[in-house]
Amino acid sequence: MSRFVTPRIAPSEITDEKHFWDRRTWLATVGAGLGALAYAPKRLSAQTQDTPTPYDTITGYNNFYEFSTDKEAVRELAANFRTTPWTVSVEGEVKRPKKYELAELLRGIPVEERTYRHRCVEAWSMVVPWNGVSLAAVIRKLEPTSKAKYIEFTTLMDPERMPGQRRGILQWPYVEGLRMDEAMNPLAILVTGIYGRPVPAQNGAPLRLVVPWKYGFKGAKSIVKIRFTERQPVTTWALTAPDEYGFYANVNPAVDHPRWSQASERIIGRFGRKETLPFNGYAEQVASLYRGMDLRVNF
């Protein structure tokens, strides 16, 4: 899987956070020279300046109900989860419906480094240096038809390999979705790595969605199906508890969850809380997508 992680710097060169920061320092140091243009990973202006959460915390505190509802148990339960071979079925309103081997799906699309705030609907947050590909680039490659108004993502269904699926906690498989214009926003990515290493199973290997202005549950893990649809997808959490989890799920400090406030968030791996920002701090990039919508109704 390492070939999907970072294209220009071998993962073997980046073995821990210290090296990650050394590399950043190096990039900043040589940044003045022309040579750096060729080597620096493409950065988006939206990238947060917040301090990234340590690797061990990001990969040791996980919501992945297919393995367990105990966040600290997922890492161990997912330790032997095999992600090769991996097939992603592309279906629905698309030029060529087809089953892709993962490498084929991502071929030709550059892997970028995107450090994003990650805000769970449970009112905790992290800052994650993801590696991944632009979802828009993948969609352009797949060529949806003019009827495609939404995109749906489905997680692997395999109770033998995912012990949590032997219990009816949710209606499996886990399904999430976006409106097509949301999916085409440059902030939306399909993640293949964290801190320059292949994304671990507990974080959604080998391919998971990240939509940083929305609550974390929109980011379906271990994706095996991408379907383009005319109708709004029926998504797992909105189906399970429609009063608590909407289809849009944009981070919004003004709309509380029925059972807790969304005004602030607990910072995992650090002390204290911080104020939650509208659209998780990405309003400048995405607020226009929702112009004219009542975000209390479409929560």
Ligand X SMILES: Nc1nc2c(c(=O)[nH]1)N[C@H]1C(S)=C(S)[C@@H](COP(=O)(O)O)O[C@H]1N2
Q: How far is the CB of 174 from Mo ion (least distance, A)?
A: 12
Q: Cα angle vertex 12, ends 6, 13, to 5°?
A: 85
Task: Give the single-character DSSP code of 4.
Answer: G
Q: How far is the CB of 31 from ligand X (least distance, A)?
A: 30
Tokens of 165: 């699926």
Given ligand X, Mo ion, none, residue 62, with its beta carbon under 5 to 8 Å by kind, binds ligand X
Given ligand X, Mo ion, none, residue 225, with its beta carbon under 5 to 8 Å by kind, binds none
Residue number, 11 or 212, with CB nearest to ligand X? 212
Q: How far is the CB of 218 from Mo ion (least distance, A)?
A: 9
Residue number, 197 or 221, with CB nearest to ligand X? 221
Q: How far is the CB of 179 from ligand X (least distance, A)?
A: 18
Given Mo ion, ligand X, none, residue 4, with its beta carbon under 5 to 8 Å by kind, binds none
What is the sign, positive or negative, of the torsion defined by CA atoms of 154, 158, 163, 167? Answer: positive
**Which residue number is nearest to ligand X in terms of Cβ?**
216
Residues 247, 149: Cα–Cα separation, whole Å: 14
Given ligand X, Mo ion, none, residue 154, with its beta carbon under 5 to 8 Å by kind, binds none
Given ligand X, Mo ion, none, residue 221, with its beta carbon under 5 to 8 Å by kind, binds ligand X
Interaction site with Mo ion (CB under 5 A):
63, 120-121, 216-217
Given ligand X, Mo ion, none, residue 165, with its beta carbon under 5 to 8 Å by kind, binds none
Residue number, 144 or 219, with CB nearest to Mo ion? 219
Q: Cα angle vertex 68, ends 63, 72, to 5°?
A: 65
Interaction site with ligand X (CB under 6 A):
62-66, 118, 120, 155, 174, 203-204, 216-217, 219-221
Residue number, 121 or 142, with CB nearest to Mo ion? 121
Given Mo ion, ligand X, none, residue 65, with its beta carbon under 5 to 8 Å by kind, binds ligand X
Residues 179, 139: Cα–Cα separation, whole Å: 12
Residue number, 6 or 62, with CB nearest to Mo ion? 62
What's the start-to-end Cα distance of the chain, in Å?
36
**Beta carbons of 150 and 231 less than 8 angstroms apart:** yes
Return the amino acid letter for 283.
Answer: A
Q: How far is the CB of 73 from ligand X (least distance, A)?
A: 12
What is the sign, positive or negative, of the torsion defined by CA atoms of 42, 46, 49, 52? Answer: negative
Residue (of 106, 266, 82) closest to 191 by Cα position: 106
Q: Give all strands (DSSP E) within the chain, no chain letters.
A: 87-92, 98-101, 112-119, 124-134, 150-155, 175-179, 189-194, 197-198, 208-210, 223-229, 264-267, 273-275
Residue number, 36 or 54, with CB nearest to ligand X? 54
Q: How far is the CB of 25 from ligand X (least distance, A)?
A: 26
Residue number, 55 or 174, with CB nearest to ligand X? 174
Residue number, 228 or 245, with CB nearest to Mo ion? 245
Given Mo ion, ligand X, none, residue 281, with its beta carbon under 5 to 8 Å by kind, binds none
Residue (of 76, 298, 289) closest to 185 by Cα position: 289
Residue (of 174, 210, 191, 199) closest to 81 by Cα position: 199
Q: How far is the CB of 237 from Mo ion (least distance, A)?
A: 9
